[in-house]
Chain A
Amino acid sequence: MTRRLSSSSVWLFVAVLGMALPSLPDAQTPGPTPRTAAGQPDLSGVWVNRGGGGGGGREYRPDEKGNVYANSSFRPCHPGSECRPAANSERDAGIRQRMAGTTYNVPLYKPEYWARVQDLDVNGNKYDLSARCYPSGVPRIGAPSKIVQSATEVVFLYEGDNRFRVIPTDGRPHDPDRAQGVSWDGEPSGRWEGDTLVIESVGFTDESWLGWPGYFHTNNMRVVERVRREGDVLIWQATVHDPEILMEPWEMPAVRRRLNPDPRARLLEDPPCDEQDLAHMATRERG
């Protein structure tokens, strides 16, 4: 079936739906959680995505003639089972992006901003700066790839874009000048609440998006991240406070990463970003 949904009808459907489905529990039994000398959970480690899907991680060996086939897949595929059927998997991926994966958890904008979100989404090839090699920004960048924890700070490293954030963990107040900044990752301040590291960031640019479907935000956005470790699982969750434009704070679904136990594990350098496709776009389609 190739019925085509317009972007605006999809967006309105999603906005009306607007409820969070419960997340699935983690089936693994966590092992012991390592702690620092100060008694807090040690978040240090290389944190990787469980599973994969969509063509990542497979080995592309040449066949007996020496030919290599490295075809990617746009469909969700689980190793050992079939890929989901698709009429046009690139367009399906576009619809899935607007539904925030499988949790149907989207930021709820005030109605007077819906038209703007739709316009940004439909024209995302033009307006989404992450498509022009700009940073994703916080919280769109998601969970860190690696964490280095010391007594006074944590450093979050992101394999994408080779970015890092240095986050003090003494609960200090935000520097008032930096709180009026326009940075992509914000000005962070962290503190421990029991076994959870809580990070509050302010001082953001208003040019970044919260997500692919035109989810803009204001300079006055405040992002609260909660990070904890259970055995060899890292749980990262972010909540976006932007009361000028959102009906309520947006609690993003928690993201889980598992520890890469290989002591030689390293982050790979992300190659330079040099965008050259947008000049040849014939349609506004985004997949």
Chain B
Amino acid sequence: MRRTMFGLLAAVGAMSSGGLLVSATVEAHHAIQAEFDTKKTEEITGVLTRFAMINPHVRWYFEETKPDGTKVEWQFTASGPGAMRDAGLARIFKPGVTYKVAFAPAHSGAKVGRLRTMTFPDGRTVTMYHEDPTKSDVKVE
């Protein structure tokens, strides 16, 4: 385990802790394309009210205040909790903090999105999306 620039411990790899390499609840994975329009990107800026480390996908709950003062509630989801753990990101999202969220919107028009990138107040970003499935020349790092 080592400290990252976020001041956190980043997992060196699940093997050393005896955990499995892949998210435990693999069976409950849902197709992203069934729920979200992955060709679009939208953005909001809002206050995080809750970050839930849950299966099958982690979830962020946001409150956006529009220029006219109305408040809109948003929910964003990303990969399974195992990936969050591997990336050392389990505790970095703080309720009450304002983040900018770029996301793929829901087909249904609901205020729900698949997270692409979250921008922290100091400008640093966390991108938790997935690779372009059509790129066949990508080497695994």
Shortest C-beta distance, B41 to chain A (Å), equals 15
- Contact residue among A68, A94, A145 (Cβ-Cβ distance under 8 Å from B31): A94
Q: CB-CB < 8 A to A287: which residues of B?
A: 29-34
Contact between B112 and A59 (Cβ–Cβ < 8 Å)?
Answer: no
Contact between B22 and A56 (Cβ–Cβ < 8 Å)?
Answer: yes
Q: Complex Cα distance A68/B86, Å?
A: 12
Binary B-proximity of A260-273 (CB < 8 A = 1, otherwise 0): 10101111101111
- Contact residue among B31, B110, B136 (Cβ-Cβ distance under 8 Å from A90): B31
Shortest C-beta distance, B36 to chain A (Å), equals 8
Which residue from chain A places its CB closest to the CB of B82 in the assembled complex? A56
Contact between B75 and A48 (Cβ–Cβ < 8 Å)?
Answer: no
Can you name 9 A-B pairs with beta carbons within 8 Å? A60-B87, A66-B124, A67-B126, A264-B17, A271-B54, A277-B77, A281-B30, A286-B34, A287-B34
Contact between B10 and A60 (Cβ–Cβ < 8 Å)?
Answer: yes
Q: CB-CB < 8 A to B87: which residues of A?
A: 60, 68, 70
Q: CB-CB < 8 A to A65: which residues of B?
A: 124
Q: With contacts A62-B5, A281-B34 known, is A130 near B55, CB below 8 A?
A: no
A58 sits at the interface (CB 8 A): yes
From B66-74, B93-101, B127-135, the one touching the partner chain is B127-135
- Contact residue among A57, A260, A272 (Cβ-Cβ distance under 8 Å from B18): A260
A285 sits at the interface (CB 8 A): yes
Binary A-proximity of B111-141 (CB < 8 A = 1, otherwise 0): 0100000000000111111110110111111
Contact between A276 and B14 (Cβ–Cβ < 8 Å)?
Answer: no
Shortest C-beta distance, A97 to chain B (Å), equals 10
Contact between A82 and B34 (Cβ–Cβ < 8 Å)?
Answer: no
- Contact residue among B5, B27, B35, B124 (Cβ-Cβ distance under 8 Å from A130): B27
Point out residues on A near B: beta carbons under 8 Å. 46, 48-49, 51-52, 54-62, 65-75, 77-92, 94, 125, 130-131, 133, 136, 140, 145, 159-161, 212, 260, 262, 264-268, 270-278, 280-287
Contact between B127 and A69 (Cβ–Cβ < 8 Å)?
Answer: yes
Most chain-B CB neighbours within 10 Å: which of A56, A80, A91, A287? A56
Shortest C-beta distance, B115 to chain A (Å), equals 11
Q: CB-CB < 8 A to A85: which residues of B?
A: 136
Shortest C-beta distance, A230 to chain B (Å), equals 21
Main secondary structure of the interface of A (DSSP, over half): loop
Contact between A282 and B107 (Cβ–Cβ < 8 Å)?
Answer: yes
* Chain B positions 20-68 with a Cβ under 8 Å from a chain A Cβ: 20-35, 52-57, 59
Main secondary structure of the interface of B (DSSP, over half): loop
Q: Complex Cα distance A287/B4, Å?
A: 33
Q: CB-CB < 8 A to A281: which residues of B?
A: 30, 34-35
Contact between B28 and A131 (Cβ–Cβ < 8 Å)?
Answer: yes
Number of interface residues of B (CB under 8 A): 69
Q: CB-CB < 8 A to A75: which residues of B?
A: 131, 133
Shortest C-beta distance, A143 to chain B (Å), equals 11
Contact between A55 and B83 (Cβ–Cβ < 8 Å)?
Answer: yes
Q: CB-CB < 8 A to A277: which residues of B?
A: 30, 35, 56-57, 77
Q: CB-CB < 8 A to B34: which residues of A?
A: 125, 281-287
Contact between B18 and A275 (Cβ–Cβ < 8 Å)?
Answer: no
Q: CB-CB < 8 A to A265: which residues of B?
A: 17-18
Q: What 15 additional pairs, Cβ within 8 angstroms, besides A283-B107, A287-B29, A287-B34? A: A48-B18, A49-B20, A56-B22, A58-B86, A59-B13, A60-B88, A61-B4, A67-B125, A70-B86, A78-B140, A80-B140, A270-B25, A277-B35, A280-B35, A280-B112
- Contact residue among A73, A81, A270, A285 (Cβ-Cβ distance under 8 Å from B131): A73
Q: CB-CB < 8 A to B12: which residues of A?
A: 59
